[in-house]
Chain A
Amino acid sequence: MSINIDRPCGTFDRNYFQTQEIFRTPLRKALLAVLVAGLFLLPFLTDDYGISILTIICAFSIGMLGLQIITGYCGQISIGHAAFMGIGMYTVGILQRHFGLSFWACLPLAGLVPMLIGMLFGLPALRIKGLYLAFATLAAHFVIVYVISNWRSVTNGTDGIWMKRPGPLWGINFAADRNYFFLVLIITILMVYLATNLTRTKLGRALVAVRDNDIAAEVMGINIAHTKILAFGIGCFFAGIAGALGGAYYEYVNIEWFGLDDSIWFLGFLVVGGFGSIFGAIAGATVWKIMDEFSTVVTPLAETFLGGAAFYASAAFSLVFYSLIIIIFLVFEPRGIAHRWQMIKRSYRLHPFPY
């Protein structure tokens, strides 16, 4: 297993159970417990504004995990990920509006519908790869946005759809932001666990093999078409769940949230976070959403410098600075924050020695 490298000296696996553990040493288990406890304590330390940021970070982390599976693990570049997140949101919105289903019934469907559509648009992957597949997903983005914004009878067009948060469960009322955050956090942890385990299965290793050299993978007996399409399906499933959780937080969904920009930011901040690692996806989503908050703070400044309406100043600020950050990361640290984090961990582990 790849994580063996990170272990302190003298940690041996003595039985199969130990080889399968994700967190192997007691220190790591303790740190995990502290992290999870800290995450559950966080909402008590901040106000509603902080909770809203945390909720959105969690939702986008799930979406970013989906892109990590498609692009980071399987190597299929997707420039349409935001659109799949949009499908997830709209699935919940439409089911609630037209069929009156509860959020709990919608949530699995919000994953499955984007999954099927993602597999459909992933079909060109049977014949093409790399740049060509990027075009297919770009086209998918435009087609999906067109359909959603113009199929008025179902999607209410560009006016968006009002959604409902999940109803009370075991006496917990999710109308309160803090309670809803706990729900999102639990689902996020579950999804992170699922994604981590996915990378340790046969399918996960097949994904990496297809990314690294698809011809060699085929020679080794991996069904490339099957693997690629499954990667698209799973990635879009994650995107759909993320969309459903994010949309239910705002209790509203609008297709204008899912521009081409967002699809590009998804890809760009995945690079910032780090390629091919679960931690990288979460780090990327976190940086992205913190930058979003930062840009709303800086907008008044941008306004005075650039003049013009506030909306445009903020749009220009985010476009210029986000893209600069992503480009700088690609030039100077193409393996992202996750790689930096690995280096820090390694130097801690090897402390007195440089390597």
Chain B
Amino acid sequence: MEETLKAIVLGSCNGGIYSLLAVSYVVIYKSTRVFPFSQAAVLIVGAYIMWFCLIAWQLPIWLGFIITCLAGALLGMIIERAFMRRLVGQPILASIVVTLCLMLLLRGVGIILGKGNIQGFGESFLPVGAWQIGFLHIPEIQVIGFILCTGLIAALMLFYEKTRAGLAMRIVHEDHVMAQSLGLNVRLVFQYSWAISCVIASVVGMLLGNIQGVGLALDANGLVAIAAVLVGGLESFAGAIIAGLAIGILQMLTISYIAPLLPGETTMVVPFILLLLFLFLKPYGLFGLTRIERL
């Protein structure tokens, strides 16, 4: 019982990060109908940029944070402008192959940036203490990460709900042709979506880099988040958030109950088994739109 409760609390902290990552996938998928596998590697690049800012150039944290966010936005815009825009209207395979290749391309960039080494932030830029609540031992860093993730998701939702640009993006989510006939610049919305998504992914990258160390292994988190997106449903922010939390908790429960029985990286494979189960039983996820096609 104690173990389960602990798993749920710690798991939801990790799950917050998965939720945010899953949202970053959904932002792009909803507006462009392209699934951005590349976000898994944007994490790595974001983490390395933050590492350069803090360790190599010795900048203050707030400046490093801003530079990383700007670099993320720029990266997203470049990806959209250079590659994705040319593939509008191409079959789905083209977009899948390009985003997968971008994932590997950015991984390669990550290797060049880090010279293949796993870097640490030396001293963590977030507090490292832990709170003791009853029998629960919660690292502060996890809680702060969770709060930051929640804040970012809330900010994104406010942006979608309250601003004019957000309204335009929601219209594009509905239908590209309709948005265009209303006089909206759909391309610009695509570019915004990539920029927003890459900013989110870079922020997650620096958070995870602080927790797990800055290295190529970070993209495993991105891949797990892909499972969360699918379980939640590709078109749903709520689904992504709920499924992200659920997968975080599931991973922690796996560590306590399944990992002792099985060898290897069970935490990595359990989300994908869940994904396969969902694809068998409820292919469009918890809140995804069921597509009805006609000739």
Interface residues of A (CB under 8 A from B): 71, 75, 77, 79, 123-124, 127-128, 130-132, 134-136, 138-140, 142-143, 146, 149-150, 152, 213, 215-216, 219, 260-261, 264, 267-268, 271, 275, 306-309, 311-313, 315-320, 322-324, 326-327, 330-331, 334
Indicate if B265 sits at the interface (CB-CB under 8 A).
Answer: yes
What chain B residues lie within 8 Å of A260 (beta carbons)?
A: 223
CB-nearest residue of chain A to B86: A331
Question: B92 near A138 (CB under 8 angstroms)?
Answer: no
Q: With A306-B115, A308-B116, A331-B83 given, is the CB distance from A142 to B268 under 8 Å?
A: yes
> Within residues 78 to 123 of chain B, which ones have a CB less than 8 A from any CB in chain A?
83, 86-87, 90, 92-94, 96-98, 100-105, 107-109, 111-112, 115-117
Question: A268 near B100 (CB under 8 angstroms)?
Answer: yes
Question: B264 near A268 (CB under 8 angstroms)?
Answer: no
Say whether chain B's binding surface is mostly helix, strand, loop, or mixed. helix
CB-nearest residue of chain B to A311: B116
Beyond contacts A260-B223, A324-B105, A331-B86: 20 other A-B pairs, Cβ-Cβ < 8 A, are: A71-B93, A77-B92, A131-B35, A131-B234, A138-B272, A139-B273, A142-B272, A143-B269, A146-B264, A146-B268, A150-B262, A267-B100, A316-B112, A318-B108, A320-B108, A323-B101, A330-B98, A331-B87, A334-B90, A334-B94
Q: In the assembly, what is the distance between CA of A150 and CA of B258, in Å?
A: 14
Indicate if B263 sits at the interface (CB-CB under 8 A).
Answer: yes
A-B contacts, 5 of them at CB < 8 A, read A79-B96, A142-B223, A143-B272, A327-B83, A330-B98
- Count the B residues whose beta carbon is within 8 Å of the partner chain — how many? 47
Question: B92 near A136 (CB under 8 angstroms)?
Answer: no
> Within residues 238 to 295 of chain B, which ones have a CB less than 8 A from any CB in chain A?
262-265, 268-269, 272-273, 275-276, 279-280, 283-284, 293-295
Question: A124 near B264 (CB under 8 angstroms)?
Answer: no
CB-nearest residue of chain B to A121: B276
What chain B residues lie within 8 Å of A130 (beta carbons)?
A: 92
Our pick among B83, B112, B276 for the contact of A139 (Cβ within 8 Å) is: B276
Q: With A261-B104, A334-B90 given, is the CB distance from A139 to B227 under 8 Å?
A: yes
What chain B residues lie within 8 Å of A71 (beta carbons)?
A: 93
Instruction: Rank and list the top 9 A-B pairs by shortest CB-CB distance, nearest first.
Output: A312-B116, A319-B108, A308-B115, A150-B264, A320-B108, A323-B101, A316-B111, A323-B105, A139-B272
Q: In the assembly, what is the distance between CA of A309 and CA of B114, in Å?
A: 11
User: Which of B94, B227, B272 counts the most A-chain CB atoms under 10 A from its CB?
Assistant: B272
What chain B residues lie within 8 Å of A123 (beta carbons)?
A: 280
Q: With A215-B293, A311-B116 given, is the CB distance from A142 to B269 under 8 Å?
A: yes
Indicate if B208 sits at the interface (CB-CB under 8 A).
Answer: no
What chain A residues lie within 8 Å of B115 (beta carbons)?
A: 306-309, 312
Q: In the assembly, what is the distance between CA of A319 and CA of B113, in Å?
A: 14
Interface residues of B (CB under 8 A from A): 35, 83, 86-87, 90, 92-94, 96-98, 100-105, 107-109, 111-112, 115-117, 223, 226-227, 230, 234, 262-265, 268-269, 272-273, 275-276, 279-280, 283-284, 293-295
Question: A309 near B35 (CB under 8 angstroms)?
Answer: no
Question: B101 near A138 (CB under 8 angstroms)?
Answer: no
Q: In the assembly, what is the distance between CA of A143 and CA of B194, in Å?
A: 30
Q: With A142-B269, A312-B111, A322-B104 given, is the CB distance from A135 to B279 under 8 Å?
A: yes
Q: In the assembly, what is the distance between CA of A319 and CA of B105, in Å?
A: 6
Q: With A146-B265, A150-B264, A323-B102 given, is the CB distance from A134 to B272 under 8 Å?
A: no
Question: A315 near B87 (CB under 8 angstroms)?
Answer: no
What is the minimal beta-carbon distance from B184 to any residue of chain A, in angstroms? Answer: 25
CB-nearest residue of chain B to A315: B111
What chain B residues lie within 8 Å of A134 (beta carbons)?
A: 96
User: Which of B35, B279, B280 counts the most A-chain CB atoms under 10 A from its CB?
Assistant: B279
Q: In the assembly, what is the distance between CA of A334 and CA of B230, in Å?
A: 28
What is the minimal beta-carbon distance from B96 to any residue of chain A, in angstroms? Answer: 6
Q: In the assembly, what is the distance between CA of A243 and CA of B107, in Å?
A: 26
Question: A268 near B101 (CB under 8 angstroms)?
Answer: yes
What chain B residues lie within 8 Å of A312 (beta carbons)?
A: 111, 115-116
CB-nearest residue of chain A to B276: A139
CB-nearest residue of chain A to B234: A131
Question: B226 near A135 (CB under 8 angstroms)?
Answer: yes
Question: B108 near A124 (CB under 8 angstroms)?
Answer: no
What chain B residues lie within 8 Å of A308 (beta carbons)?
A: 115-117
Question: A219 near B276 (CB under 8 angstroms)?
Answer: no
CB-nearest residue of chain A to B85: A331
Question: B94 near A124 (CB under 8 angstroms)?
Answer: no
User: Which of B102, B111, B230 counts the most A-chain CB atoms under 10 A from its CB?
Assistant: B111
What chain A residues lie within 8 Å of B101 (beta carbons)?
A: 264, 268, 322-323, 326-327
Q: In the assembly, what is the distance between CA of A215 and CA of B104, in Å?
A: 34
What is the minimal beta-carbon distance from B167 to any residue of chain A, in angstroms? Answer: 27
Our pick among B104, B268, B283, B293 for the contact of A323 (Cβ within 8 Å) is: B104
